[in-house]
Structure 1
Amino acid sequence: MPCLNEAETLAVCIDKAQGYLQRSGVVGEVLIADNGSTDGSQQIARDHGARVVDIAEKGYGSALMGGIEAARGTYIIMGDADDSYDFSALDNFVERLRAGDELVMGNRFRGGIEPGAMPPLHKYLGNPVLSWIGRVLFRSPIKDFHCGLRGFRRQSMLDLHLQTTGMEFASEVVVKSTLGGLRVSEVPTTLKKDGRSRPPHLRSWRDGWRHLRFLLIFSPRWLFLWPGSVAFFLGLIGTLSIAFGPFMLGSVGFDGATQVYLAALTVVGYQAILFAILTKIYAQREGFRIPRSRSFDKLEKRISLESGALAGAILFVIGLVIAIVQLVQWSSSGFGELDATVTVRVSVLASLVMMLGAQTMMAGMFLGVLGVGLKRRP
């Protein structure tokens, strides 16, 4: 149980867990991962037979990860120490763990949410929406991503190299377990109103945003690659089309002004694509994405500082040649007045190709930075 000033409810939670161990015959311990309590929670835990581990680094995720590392059992069931979950009713979790599941999530929407136990904002918007996004992005079977009561195989969690320190740790466990091919399941869980007189540590908008940010950044394909690809190809096709002259779409005509905006759309889309690729490479090298994508591994091997710089240089030179041809044509006319519309069309195209080339070269250089070998501290 993660703990930060839970003196009001900690004892009853520990007693319920101890009672379950005795009743079920499960060999285990109650471990309190204390995150700097100042209300005497540590002594209360010891008085009720629990082992206390002090976790110096602040945060929900830090406390849980510290507890996981300090635990001695093969399996762990974690839950909040606010008496909102019933630690005397864990049979469903133990049954699924013994059946071979590596992560067993509680589902409060299936088990029941008592009146006042969950704010309406969380019940009808926050949890359902974030869980739906997680299922869509990662093809996860879990329908309650943020249930605080869950069981898992300890070594399986350690192998996932969990990183986050805040409330988004709850999402990270589900996402990485799904990506890692772990056996995942859900069991009904009842949520009741917690027994504390003070407000919860959870901050709805701040922590909700952290969960959403984690889900989106952890899936750059949906956030950057697909939208960026649509923007890039739409902008590029439009820019090239107008470079050869204005065209009509029904009764609407498109010319130089439209081309400028389409070129900007192309640049933004291309930047999104590059960001998605670089984010994925960084995540793979840091061990964030599990398992590694074989198709992306092949692409990564073909992308390097040198190949990026070469491709970027070729694009830049093409744009520069177009610009030089324009300059020569201008000089041949004695640097006199030009057809502004035609000149702008070609200038926009030349500028776009040079910008894409520069972006490609810089992306290649950044990839080179990611590839610098560093000695990792233990």
Structure 2
Amino acid sequence: MSSVDVILPCLDEAAALPGVLAAIPAGHRAIVVDNGSGDGSPAVAAEHGALVVHEARRGYGAAVHTGLEASDADVVCFLDADGSMDAGVLARMVDVVDSGEADLAVGRRVPAERGAWPWHARAGNAVLAGLLRRRGLPVHDIGPVRCARRQALLDLDVRDRAFGYPLELLLRAERAGWRVHELDIDYRPRTAGTKSKVSGSVRGTTRAVRDMARVLR
């Protein structure tokens, strides 16, 4: 069995972290990458057993890449720290990669209740996923839940350090001939008291789509 690290980019997620970290499968180490929180997130993460590293440059891709560099595991997973997705799915994703069934396992968000996924975020995601399927990638979501071998991810040399990181990872994986396996994952409203930096507003969604459009160009 390969060693596994779960990388959680984090910006002001103190309210969600206890539940998220408790749900991570046994034997998987959590690496919380603090991206400039002002609510005590690093202390909460450490209290609940996570390795905490810091990334001063704001941006999803910057935080994820710092976590990837901090890891020394065979396999790494990426998961949001906001409580919107069940960390229990990671065990299945790791099995897919560790068994050699696929090079990359990705989560397909399925809203578990009304209002979990705002219309503007779903629409932007659907357009981008459709473009990827035209390229031959069997995905329906440009979501943040991923699992792959750490060294292979580093070798992809993903350059984006903003919200375009997930899309660039998929594009580079397609060019490298990776086998991609998509699994459904329940998508719930974020933990009370928190708001998504991306899907929580039209402005956030627009910023993410802009970053991803830059990657496509």
TM-score norm. by structure 2 comes to: 0.89
Q: Map Cα deviations across residues 310-336 of structure 1 (whole Å, 9 max, x no partner).
A: xxxxxxxxxxxxxxxxxxxxxxxxxxx
Partner of 2:124: 126
> When you count strand as a share of all residues, which structure comes out higher?
2
Partner of 2:208: 207
Partner of 2:93: 93
Whole-Å Cα distance in 2 between the matches of residues 49 and 199 of structure 1? 24
Structure 2 counterpart SS, 1:182: coil
Equivalent pairs counted in the alignment come to 204
Query: How big is the shift at 1:113?
Result: 4.1
Structure 1 counterpart SS, 2:132: helix
* The structure with more radius of gyration: 1
For 1:99-248, what aligned pairs fall within 5 Å after superposition? 99-100=99-100, 101-109=102-110, 112-123=111-122, 125-136=123-134, 138-144=135-141, 146-202=142-198, 203-215=204-216, 217=217
Runs of 5+ consecutive residues of structure 2 not aligned to the other structure: 1-7, 199-203
- Structure 1 residue ranges (4+ consecutive) displaced by more than 3 angstroms after TM superposition: none
Q: Retained in 2: the 8 A contact 1:32–1:52? A: yes
> When you count helix as a share of all residues, which structure comes out higher?
1
Query: How big is the shift at 1:129?
Result: 0.9
Query: How big is the shift at 1:82?
Result: 0.4
Whole-Å Cα distance in 2 between the matches of residues 40 and 164 of structure 1? 27
How many percent identity over aligned positions? 31
RMSD: 1.4
Whole-Å Cα distance in 2 between the matches of residues 179 and 152 of structure 1? 16
Letter in 1 for 2:173: S
2:21 to 11, 14, 29: 14
Letter in 1 for 2:171: V
Q: Retained in 1: the 8 A contact 2:74–2:151? A: yes
Structure 2 counterpart SS, 1:140: coil
Q: Retained in 1: the 8 A contact 2:104–2:179? A: yes
TM-score norm. by structure 1 comes to: 0.52
Moved more, 43-52 or 82-91: 82-91
Whether 1:3 and 2:16 are equivalent positions in the alignment is no
Change over 3 Å in CA distance of 1:13–1:4 after alignment to 2: same
